[in-house]
A and B are shown apart, each in its own frame.
Chain A
């Protein structure tokens, strides 16, 4: 039953597909495949689609009646099981957990009665699922944070968090892709540029991907920055096996 969505209008030219209210890998796979199906099959009707954990939004062109389009989609009896699932990639994100870049890592360690090394170990172990991007350009909502790292957001958000900063907010971990204010606990920084508006697509990680953090020291961070600047840096991407 979780396989089929309900359809709703969301303004004049937007429709929303909702699945069960749950953050769940299987539901998300359905959302992802529906988005692909609709994007591929209705290029004349839609502007774009975007997904979240258990919902899919379809932005329609002006002049396309949302209610009629819902009827079309329902009539189409979408079956995504025929879609060949694209191979999922696992992208490695090097992170320097030096307190210079991670001002809150000591606090997180103390909160959970762990050493900084244990925090790093727990943070670099999972393969995190990229559910979708939102909040900021290129900001990935990741699933898979170790429960023993769950930490409430800071009561006072910082007015400025440098791009590349890696944080923990509640049950989530993530990377700030651009400079931004923010309330997450900052534990490290990646030298990689995750969002680049001069590229299309602008985000280096996308919904459906998996990522893994890899601890690097300060001199490795500096070296990577030089490689990125020189254009010799190569992203580490491999196939992800469920």
Chain B
């Protein structure tokens, strides 16, 4: 059993997402930075979809009442076991009775704690990802208890694993494809969107990132239509909103861009106040899957 001593700013359990229910208005959810979550799972030999603990900005403090093997990947926190530094992007054994803390990240925003076997969590509509209304809670709280999943056959990899490519989240270029309404915007607005610098607003969260700018841009509303994580919307008064993992499934604002999969992961590591710009790529020449 693992007890939450300090909850951190926003900690939750996540997997790769909830699929097959968007026609019922159920958001996809899942880890904000899917690649880092999968890396954390790989460190401990888990399936990429095993449940991980996502935390951000100010990490949680966890008391382990059983021994476990853990792996941490994502933003550069300074994890410690009983006050002693441990590495990220490597598998680490933790003894019963130890306390794990993370501090704050020197770079990036969100990181993932994977535990060998995965965290035990209720599967709602095919996923363990927290989303209030689908799952009972939207976030982890002080004194909550977590359990290691003991069900099923677990991979028995015991050798020490490290992540080969450590992500550094250096780039401020967010790769995008044209969104459904891009071509209907005036050329002048298209150019402004391509060249502008945007600042991430403090109200950004798992549902959406709000981008501040000083450009004279806007687009008229559309008949409510499908949206997905990574859809960039622009409102009639010029607000620019990037939908993230917990986004609703339909929306009425013009959809000007669609982030590439890796761009969503990158943006999830950007903090309020950081600057980003959009870089348009052509889907036909984009081979990343």
> Contact at B223–A52, with CB atoms within 8 Å?
yes
Residues of chain B lying within 8 A (CB to CB) of residue A139: 25
Contact partner of A137 (CB less than 8 A), chosen from B133, B177, B255, is: B133
* B255 and chain A: residue at smallest CB distance: A10
A51 to B24 Cα, complex, angstroms: 10
B46 to chain A, nearest CB (A): 19
Residues of chain A lying within 8 A (CB to CB) of residue B226: 10, 16, 50-52, 55-57, 134
Residues of chain B lying within 8 A (CB to CB) of residue A11: 177, 228, 230, 258-260, 283
Residues of chain B lying within 8 A (CB to CB) of residue A14: 228, 258
Q: Is B125 an interface residue (CB 8 A)?
A: yes
Residues of chain A lying within 8 A (CB to CB) of residue B124: 197-198
Q: Is A47 an interface residue (CB 8 A)?
A: yes
Q: Is B23 an interface residue (CB 8 A)?
A: yes
User: In the complex, how many residues of chain A place their beta carbon closer than 8 angstroms to a beta carbon of chain B?
Assistant: 49
Binary interface profile of B, 273-289, with partner A (CB < 8 Å = 1, else 0)?
Answer: 00000000001101011
Q: Is B152 an interface residue (CB 8 A)?
A: no
B26 to chain A, nearest CB (A): 5
Q: Is B135 an interface residue (CB 8 A)?
A: yes
Q: Is B248 an interface residue (CB 8 A)?
A: yes
Binary interface profile of A, 120-157, with partner B (CB < 8 Å = 1, else 0)?
Answer: 00000000000011111111010000000000000000
Q: Is B261 an interface residue (CB 8 A)?
A: yes
A179 to B22 Cα, complex, angstroms: 19
> Contact at A134–B224, with CB atoms within 8 Å?
yes
Residues of chain B lying within 8 A (CB to CB) of residue A18: 180
* A57 and chain B: residue at smallest CB distance: B226
A11 to B226 Cα, complex, angstroms: 13
User: In the complex, how many residues of chain B place their beta carbon closer than 8 angstroms to a beta carbon of chain A?
Assistant: 39
> Contact at B249–A134, with CB atoms within 8 Å?
yes
> Contact at B223–A203, with CB atoms within 8 Å?
no
Q: Is B166 an interface residue (CB 8 A)?
A: no
> Contact at B283–A197, with CB atoms within 8 Å?
no
> Contact at B134–A137, with CB atoms within 8 Å?
yes
> Contact at B223–A134, with CB atoms within 8 Å?
no
Contact partner of A48 (CB less than 8 A), chosen from B19, B177, B230, B260, is: B19
Residues of chain B lying within 8 A (CB to CB) of residue A12: 177, 260-261, 283, 286, 288-289
B281 to chain A, nearest CB (A): 10
A197-B249 CB under 8 A given contacts A59-B22, A66-B283, A133-B23: no
> Contact at A48–B225, with CB atoms within 8 Å?
no
> Contact at A50–B125, with CB atoms within 8 Å?
no
> Contact at A201–B283, with CB atoms within 8 Å?
no
Interface residues of A in 45-101 (CB under 8 A from B): 47-57, 59, 62-63, 66-67
Q: Is B186 an interface residue (CB 8 A)?
A: no
Residues of chain B lying within 8 A (CB to CB) of residue A40: none
Residues of chain B lying within 8 A (CB to CB) of residue A67: 283-284
Q: Is A103 an interface residue (CB 8 A)?
A: no
> Contact at B180–A10, with CB atoms within 8 Å?
yes
Residues of chain B lying within 8 A (CB to CB) of residue A49: 23
Q: Is A206 an interface residue (CB 8 A)?
A: yes
A179 to B137 Cα, complex, angstroms: 12
Residues of B within 8 A of A (CB): 19-27, 124-125, 133-135, 177-180, 222-226, 228, 230, 248-251, 255, 258-261, 283-284, 286, 288-289
A-B contacts, 15 of them at CB < 8 A, read: A10-B228, A11-B177, A12-B261, A16-B225, A21-B222, A47-B20, A52-B223, A52-B224, A57-B228, A67-B283, A132-B250, A137-B27, A141-B224, A198-B124, A201-B21
Residues of A within 8 A of B (CB): 8-12, 14, 16, 18, 21-23, 35, 47-57, 59, 62-63, 66-67, 132-139, 141, 178-180, 195, 197-198, 200-203, 206-207
Beyond the given pairs A48-B22, A52-B250, 9 more chain A to chain B contacts, judged by CB atoms under 8 angstroms and listed by A's residue number, are A10-B255, A11-B260, A21-B223, A50-B23, A57-B228, A62-B289, A135-B249, A201-B21, A203-B25
**Nearest 8 A-B pairs (CB), nearest first?**
A134-B250, A57-B226, A11-B258, A178-B133, A133-B25, A203-B24, A50-B22, A197-B134
